[in-house]
Amino acid sequence: MNSNLLNIPFVDLSWQNEPLLADIDGAIRDVIRRGDFILGQEVRKFEKDFAQACGVRYGIGVGSGTDAIALGLRACGIMEGDEVIVPANTFIATVIGVILAGAKPVLVDCDINTALIDLESAQKAITEKTKAIVPVHLYGQMVSPQQIEDFAQSNHLIIFEDSAQAHLAQREGKTAGSIGLASGFSFYPSKNLGAFGNGGMVVTDNEEIAQKVRSLRNYGAPKKYYHTDFGTNSRLNTVQGAVLNIKLPHLKKWNDWRNRAGAKYDQLLQPLAEYGITPIKNVVQGGHIYHLYVINIETSPQPIYDRNIIQNKLDEIGIQTGIHYPIPCHLQPAYEYLGYQKGDFPNAEILCDNILSLPMYPGIDDENLELVVKHLTDIVRNSD
Ligand SMILES: *Cc1c(COP(=O)(O)O)cnc(C)c1O
């Protein structure tokens, strides 16, 4: 009834896709004419260009971000019996990737302000079986390269970055994908660089690891019909490669738009601090690429405003929001067998209860950012 008041979507891909339609159309026709649908020339070009953009030598296109983590970890030598440290507040695919690699995910808490992995919590989780740590560059903000490198070095761990939300994100002069032994990316349509379907990539500066992923994604065959690994079928398809080649030159500009929108939100939201509403902290300024713009609606020590009520009221007005993520990985029913309980990772649990993701996409204009904050402000003022 009042849903026509506003229409501010959570994500709007048409702004970026429409101007590129003619080029994309032409590139897809070329793929159809050549017929190189699997691992064709557009995939090779995109692998080369995307790896270069990340500052490493090799990119290996795979079927999804989940597979990028699973195959990438295997190529780094992770295997059954190994423990891999993962933050409890991430998209579940990080955990799935570790399990698909055959290893045991060991969950740890996050920092309450940045929502990024907490290395003190990680330190407590180290055992003699710990082989790797997976920093997740959550919401488009990188984990500190210096801190994660120091941590990995002193504990003799491999770093495998989950960069699925961090295409070209930067921190301390480094780019996501260039700090780990290898890194996994996703090109799911709503990521900062999105295909028109599923897609992913492992990037690495290590030639052996690159070759291993190339084999693993292609039935474990370094040469046709010669299988040296237990592999799978997980390849970035050529049509997606063609789409991604057209989009890649625009990525920096799109990320910059998100970063400016994030800074604008930060500024507009300042007066809401007195109501306990604060953005997840940006500690990297320009290097944050805001895959998501997330606020924390504090409910402790006293529940003042209920996140779900606020979300429903915004929805009624016509402002779409999201929750990333409502349940931490350690409390997901499928992973009960890992033996975690409520209370194990208090910061992750608090965030999952209190966070709300506001509309964010390249092309969102100041007027919409102002409307979102205005209506959010009205809702909290009126619930006094
Ligand atoms: C999207 C995402 C993935 C998984 O990528 P898919 O392409 O959907 O398999 C993994 N980790 C994080 C943090 C993600 O956001």
Residues 202 and 299 in one domain: no
Q: Output the pLDDT for position 28.
A: 98
Does the CB atom of residue 237 touch ligand 1 within 6 A?
A: no
Residues 239 and 262 in one domain: no
Whether residue 184 is contained in a domain is answered as: yes
For 103, the 3-state DSSP assignment is: coil
For 100, the 3-state DSSP assignment is: helix
CB 369 within 8 A of CB 20: no
CB 163 within 8 A of CB 137: yes
Of 206, 227, 250, which residue sits at a domain end? Answer: 250
Q: Quick one: average pLDDT of 37-55?
A: 98
Of the pLDDT bands very low, low, confident and very high (cuts 50, 70, 90), residue 306 is confident
Distance from C-alpha of 109 to C-alpha of 115, rounded to nearest angstrom: 9
pTM of the model: 0.97
Q: Quick one: average pLDDT of 374-380?
A: 94
Q: Output the pLDDT for position 298.
A: 85
Q: Output the pLDDT for position 299.
A: 64
Range of the structural domain that residue 94 is part of: 14-250
Specify the pairing of strand 277-279 against strand 293-297.
antiparallel
What are 120's two structure tokens? 């003190």
**Whether the bond into 346 is cis, omega within 30 of 0:** no
CATH of the domain at 344: 3.90.1150.10
Active site residue 191: yes
Does the CB atom of residue 91 touch ligand 1 within 6 A?
A: yes
Residues 156 and 274 in one domain: no
The number of the ligand 1 atom at minimal distance from the alpha carbon of 199 is: 7
Residues 103 and 163 in one domain: yes
Distance from the alpha carbon of residue 95 to the mean position of ligand 1, in angstroms: 10
8-state DSSP, 143:
P
**How would you class 44 by CB atoms within 10 Å of its CB: exposed for 0-12, middle for 13-18, buried for 19 or more?**
middle
Residues 255 and 245 in one domain: no
Q: Output the pLDDT for position 27.
A: 98
Residues 240 and 255 in one domain: no
User: Which helix H or strand E contains 375, and what residues bound it?
Assistant: helix 366-382
Whether residue 372 is contained in a domain is answered as: yes
Whether residue 325 is contained in a domain is answered as: yes
Whether residue 9 is contained in a domain is answered as: no
Does the CB atom of residue 320 touch ligand 1 within 6 A?
A: no
- Give the CA distances from residue 103 to residues 73, 166, 278, in Å, rounded to whole numbers and listed in that order: 9, 24, 37
Per the structure, how many domains does the chain have? 2
pLDDT tens profile 112-171 = 999 999 999 999 999 999 999 999 999 999 999 999 999 999 999 999 999 999 999 999
Beta strands in 112-191 (DSSP E): 130-133, 158-162, 170-171, 174-175, 182-186
Whether residue 284 is contained in a domain is answered as: yes
Residues 37 and 129 in one domain: yes
Whether residue 189 is contained in a domain is answered as: yes
